Amino acid sequence: MLEIKRPITGERLIVAESDFETSMNWKDAKNATNSLGAGWRLPTKTELELIHKELHLKGSGNFKSISYWSSTEYAGGNYAWYFGFGNGFSGNCSKDVKKFVRAVKVL
């Protein structure tokens, strides 16, 4: 497992070692991460930014240069935030769009 610390709280965030095999819409992404067991979930938008900085940019975690779903919803629930590991930018889009998924949990 990969591990990073949240800068403000110092909590340890465990990051799954690999992505799910296929991209998926937001609802399927939430269900897939939750099905991994107690505590596993989609990362928040802020956590994805931290993962990008602390793991991806340092060559750890085998992340693809693509967009990953976050758990952070936008605009009343029809949209959610994603983070692009290729360009380091976040954005929001319809939850029906398929993006890649990496699960996390707090220890």
CATH of residue 28: 3.10.100.10
pLDDT in tens, 12-51: 999 999 999 999 999 999 999 999 999 999 999 999 999 9
Q: Give how many domains the chain has, as a whole number.
A: 1
18 and 101 in contact (C-beta within 8 Å)? no
Domain span at 10:
2-106
**Does the pLDDT of residue 77 top 90, yes or no?**
no
Q: Is the pTM of this model over 0.75?
A: yes
Chain-centroid distance, C-alpha 67: 9
pLDDT in tens, 1-17: 799 998 888 899 999 99
Q: What value, to the nearest 5°, has the Cα angle with vertex 13 and ends 97 and 42?
A: 20
